[in-house]
Amino acid sequence: MSDRAREFIDFWVENCIHAVEQDHTAGASQDVPELSRRLIEAAKGQGIPEADLRAAIGDIAAYIEELLRAANSVENERRTPT
């Protein structure tokens, strides 16, 4: 695994993984295959091969799905009245 791949993944996640909009307005994509494809393509554009991504995070789709689940959970908790 390259540090460059890990740094790229962290940057991409920060900018591309967000909770679903709760008020049904157009918002962040929750489509795991689409987000997986975007990550792979963006990394290729930076000269980072898919193999390096997989070495850093394992299954790309599973990784993105878990990040979306966590982001949505945090957003749901934030919106839940206490």
- Each residue of 36-58: pLDDT tens digit? 999 999 999 999 999 999 999 99
pLDDT of 22 over the 70 cut: no
Q: What is the pLDDT of residues 25-41, one digit of tens each?
A: 555 678 899 999 999 99
Average pLDDT over residues 70-74: 89
pLDDT of residue 49: 97
DSSP 41: H
| Predicted TM-score of the model (pTM) | 0.83
Contact assessment for residue 77 and residue 70, using Cβ atoms and an 8 Å cutoff: no
The chain-wide mean pLDDT, for the chain, equals 88
* Alpha helix positions (H), the chain: 3-16, 32-45, 50-57, 60-79
